[in-house]
Chain A
Amino acid sequence: MKITQLSVFLENTAGRLREVTGILRDAGINIRALSLAETTDFGILRIIVNDPQKAMQALRQAHFTVRETPILAVEVPDRPGGLHSLLEALAKENMNIEYVYAFVEKRTDNALIVIRVEQPDRAIEVLQKGGFNVLGNKDIGSL
């Protein structure tokens, strides 16, 4: 199961990120997780939100370049070694990770690891076989 991440192109100028958060606030969108990759002149904002379709529409209307990216969200126990066990499972199968970020769930003792891999379908298979809980979009909406 994959979940939808929105990737947004941002120029590296003062206040651009704030404009995005303003648009999402006005559209009543809640951000679940966020990471920002940056170079000297541009950045890519990656966000997981409760309503990706609505968020995408609002951002496009404001002329932002937005793309949906299918990524994996995997639960790991929120304790030392939690992320490591996940990475090990993927490494054993020689799977490359493009990027990763994480957040802690409020209502459980788990952390949620967001990973982007080259072959998401194979990664899901590997992780599920390894006993990991791979979340879907529905799970994200109710977090």
Chain B
Amino acid sequence: MYWNEKEECVPIEQMRRRQLKNLQKTVARLYKRVPFYRRRMDEKGIKPADIRTLDDFRTFPFTDKDDMREGYPFGLFATPLEEVVRIHSSSGTTGKPVVAGYTKADIALWAETIARTLRCGDVTARDIVQVAYGYGLFTGGLGLHYGAELIGTTVVPMSGGNNKRQIMIMQDFGTTVLCCTPSYALALAETAVEMGVDTRALRLRVGFFGAEPWPEEMRAAIEQRLNLKAIDIYGLTEVIGPGVASECLEQYGMHIFEDHFYPEIVNPDTGEVLPDGERGELVFTCLTKEAFPLLRYRTRDITRLIPGACPCGRTFRRMEKVSDRTDDMLIIRGTNVFPSQIETVLFGIEEAEPHFQIIVKREGPLDELEVLFEVDEAHFSDEVKVLQAIEHKVAREIESAIGLRAAVRLVEPKTIERSMGKRKRVTDLRKEPKP
């Protein structure tokens, strides 16, 4: 089911022509209105009129998170503040946060792309949508909210937290659609078990999970424990929030709403544009936004564009599940390791999931990789050798996946922090100041 069939199934050639037209318009507007972009383009000796084809755009300068901070808070806005009706902001764990502004038209565009997202999971006006993404400066809550209302669903704006109440509302209101981060979905499943609630008796049908990378194995765990179909959605504050891309019911790749958000995959080291199918860093350009349209924004997310058509009929290209972020890469004893490589191993070992923590620290001159996971009653034994065998198995599988020996340690239940929003995948003690 589509929300906007004419746009979502538009013939590709027609879409490319429209992308080019909107790109030209946006670049010209930014050159005129935002000193930052004019300076960047002048430095490179590029004028808006130089874009005659989409390929010409490949020479344009990138923008990145540091540029956002330089422009903090409103420096990159392309409209006067009186036309901006809403501000959102990313958490900004290091330095200044990213600030995004929205005009009325931007809010309407956002609701449209979220409506398309929800329709990717066949959501209709008859659904009861529990939005358990945080409401506030974070884009998750309000982003999903407006799109769900546009479709005409019954929205329950729970925001994150208060797990028992979330489960109670699911039972009492008959929630059919859950929207939250995937790690929070697992936390809710755990709460349901603690409350003695059988999730098969709930009416949950489909869930829209995003805002953090999550491996395929985690999808299986969520689908089984919450008894719903788990749809991966993608977005980021800098581009608009959630609603940049969404899986359809095929669950193979997320359709990028590329009539509004133009994707490129580049080599993260050289910036060279890679052909569809090759893995690299995802770069976005906003084609139609008014207040805060970014040009060639480097997301730091590693993925690829899946070649070929999707059976669902949408012509938008699909991006593969994001496996990693360029800034998440760990260098441990000289070896490059992505957290997802370790997570994939852990999700594949029944005894180790779903609660584990990856810690990197420095012992003397050497980096140490430590993996903690919680023992549960199903796999607990009164015999030391059985528990040690589990530890050894996890260590062996991690070593065969990444070539590094990890110190694997069983810990008591509930000692690993449960997240309400984005999960902290790795604690890198090497980066933290000594106490």
Contacts and interface: CB of A to CB of B under 8 A. Distances in A.
A67 B383 CA distance: 11
A3 to B, nearest CB: 13
A26 interface: no
Interface string A8-47: 0111000000000000000000000000010101101010
A67 to B, nearest CB: 5
B410 to A, nearest CB: 5
B56 interface: no
A65 interface: yes
B292 to A, nearest CB: 45
Interface string B405-434: 000011111110000000000000000000
Nearest to A71: B382
A9 B410 contact: yes
A42 B383 contact: no
B381 A7 contact: yes
Nearest to B415: A11
Interface string A83-119: 0000000000000001100000000000000001000
A9 B383 contact: no
A66 interface: yes
B406 to A, nearest CB: 13
A69 B383 CA distance: 10
Contact of A7 (B380, B388, B411, B412): B380
Contact of B383 (A63, A65, A66, A98): A98
A50 interface: no
Contacts of B383: 44, 98-99, 116
B115 interface: no
Contacts, number: 50
B412 A9 contact: yes
A42 B387 contact: yes
A84 B411 CA distance: 37
Contact of A11 (B376, B381, B382, B412): B412
Contacts of A11: 411-412, 415
A63 B414 contact: yes
Given A41-B410, A63-B414, A65-B413, A9 B384 contact: no
B375 A65 contact: yes
Contacts of B412: 9-11, 63-65
Contacts of B410: 9, 41-42
A66 B387 contact: no
A1 B309 CA distance: 67
B350 interface: no
Interface string A61-83: 00111110100000000000000
Contact of B382 (A39, A64, A69): A69
B377 interface: yes
Contacts of A65: 375-377, 380, 412-413
A94 to B, nearest CB: 19
A65 B381 CA distance: 10
Contacts of B384: 37, 39, 44
A44 B375 contact: no
Given A9-B375, A67-B377, A67-B382, A44 B414 contact: no
A67 B377 CA distance: 7
Contacts of A41: 409-410
A30 B177 CA distance: 50
Interface in B8-52: none
B382 A5 contact: yes
Contacts of A99: 383
Interface in B376-394: 376-377, 380-384, 387-388
Interface of B: 375-377, 380-384, 387-388, 409-415
Instruction: Please provide the 7 A-B residue pairs with the shortest distance between their CB atoms, ordered closest to farther.
Output: A7-B382, A69-B382, A63-B414, A65-B380, A41-B409, A37-B384, A11-B412
11 contacts: A9-B375, A9-B387, A9-B410, A11-B415, A41-B409, A42-B410, A42-B411, A44-B381, A44-B387, A65-B376, A65-B413
Given A67-B382, A99-B383, A116-B382, 11 more contacts: A9-B375, A9-B410, A10-B412, A11-B415, A41-B409, A42-B387, A46-B382, A65-B375, A65-B413, A69-B382, A116-B383
